[in-house]
Amino acid sequence: MLTDPIAALATPPGRSALAVVRLAGVGAFEIADRVVRNFQVRPRLATLATFLDARGEPIDRGIYIVFPAPHSFSGDDTVEFSCHGGLTAPARLLAALHAAGARPAAPGEFTRRAVLNGRMDLLQAEAVGDLIDATATAQGRAAVAQLDGNLSRRIQQLRRQLLELEALLSYDIDFPGEDDGPVAPARLTEALAQAAAQTDRLLATAPAGERLREGALVVIAGRPNAGKSSLFNALLGTERALVTEIAGTTRDAIEAHLSFLDWPVRLVDTAGLRTTGDRIEAMGVEVSHRWLDAADLVLLCVEGGRELTPEERALEASHPVLLVRTKSDLVPEPEGVSAVTGEGLDQLRRRVAERLFGGQLALADLEPGLTRERHRTALATAQAELVAARPFLGRDGDATLASHHVRRAVLSLDELIGIVDIEEVLDRIFSTFCVGK
């Protein structure tokens, strides 16, 4: 049942000035009429009214706004209620709506309906989730751009290119020429090359786009006692990790989400790197190596005033490393940091943000990119199909086979945007949404 009436709290439960409850679906207005005293369908106008429970007892006085289909978020008949927040009013209002015939909404169901009703495509729906989950400003900005359809337009443009190529190929199939076909072979090759180049360009945006959406993985590493956990705590602003003068304090890796200059970072503190007879510490060191291999950037902590060891040099050569001179209050160093005085922390944040997101600092608003594995997989499929199509172009080629591959490339983009019937894709995407969204 894709149109039955659903209701949910759209704001988080708990103490707040206001709460928003959403009701949408066929019959939403009849249900609202049972809950709102003197309910009137006045499209998109705020109306003050008393909300009543099933026994006619007042719950609250609040505002409701009616959005007749299709001009609502989900595309269904919708009523949005603003009542007072806290634990009772929103819960009683919701209960009243459920008693009046609305079903509790499943996670992401409003947005899912928006996609099914053609109010937005899948990429935009994902952006709704990304915007809500964004913790750094840059993530929010990227999500708003995607919600605005920037990425969708870019994919649509590629899709049109492919459809044109397909049309040229059909023409070639329907009217095969003798020497020169009706379509100059060079034209086909050129059209394919352009679509392939566009696909490559989009795919190239994936690493940065995914890093922005998920947060860059920054791993603090170094020898025992280098000051890693102290740096972790100082950057976090709280004493999350244990700090002692005993070498080998940290065993388990500790992860925290934070932002550096509005850019999202997943910061990980790890066990100090050394060969050790202690079984537990050795396990910690092994875990450290796994984090190092996954890191977008390693903050290699080395106390000021000492040479790097051969192991530290090897790490610098094998991983994306930013050398951090620690304990600069004891031995001053250019660009050194001190967890004790806080010196150098801001500069470190800036250096990290520039290393990780430097390319996007300028491009962020211009270039919509792929932001998740689903996007990357779809484009990679399209890319592979275009590569497969190429040998079938030209005088000795086979336009039918070329066309088959181009079609599959188009289908891959269709699934990405949400043009085909894609219940299963929808299930996967919206299962991670929260209720009321």
152 versus 326: smaller Cβ distance to ligand GTP: 326
Among 330, 380, 411, 434, binds ligand GTP (CB under 6 A): 330
Cα–Cα distances in Å, from 66 out to 62, 142, 237, 357, 377?
A: 13, 30, 45, 43, 40
The CA distance from 109 to 360, in Å, is: 33
The one segment of 151-159, 170-178, 240-248, 310-318 that binds ligand GTP by CB under 6 A: 240-248
249 binds Mg ion (CB under 5 A): yes
Query: 317 Cβ partners below 8 Å, 6+ apart?
Result: none
205 binds ligand GTP (CB under 6 A): no
Binders of Mg ion among residues 179 to 238 (CB under 5 A) are 228-229
Among 227, 368, 369, 436, binds ligand GTP (CB under 6 A): 227
The CA distance from 207 to 251, in Å, is: 30
The one segment of 42-50, 62-70, 191-199, 218-226 that binds ligand GTP by CB under 6 A: 218-226
DSSP state of 340: T
Select from ligand GTP, Mg ion, none the partner in contact with residue 224, using the beta carbon and a kind-dependent cut-off of 5 to 8 Å.
ligand GTP
Contact between 345 and 329 (Cβ < 8 Å): no
413 binds ligand GTP (CB under 6 A): no
68 versus 224: smaller Cβ distance to Mg ion: 224
Taking the CA atoms of 23, 24, 28 and 29 in sequence, report the sign of the dihedral they define.
positive
Among 250, 288, 326, 360, binds Mg ion (CB under 5 A): 250
Smallest separation, CB 231 to ligand GTP (Å): 7
CA torsion 303-308-311-312 (nearest 10°) is 60
The CA distance from 429 to 42, in Å, is: 34
Contact between 276 and 284 (Cβ < 8 Å): no
Smallest separation, CB 223 to ligand GTP (Å): 7
Binders of ligand GTP among residues 81 to 120 (CB under 6 A) are none
Among 229, 288, 371, 383, binds ligand GTP (CB under 6 A): 229
The CA distance from 372 to 25, in Å, is: 31
Smallest separation, CB 327 to ligand GTP (Å): 4
The residues with which 52 forms a beta bridge, in sequence order, are 58
Smallest separation, CB 293 to ligand GTP (Å): 19
The CA distance from 383 to 203, in Å, is: 9
Which candidate, 180, 378, 384, 157, places its Cα nearest to that of 188? 180
Among 86, 224, 320, 394, binds ligand GTP (CB under 6 A): 224
Smallest separation, CB 100 to Mg ion (Å): 57
Binding footprint of Mg ion on the chain (CB under 5 A): 228-229, 249-250
What is the binding site for ligand GTP (CB under 6 A)? 224-230, 243-245, 247-250, 271-272, 326-327, 329-330, 338-340
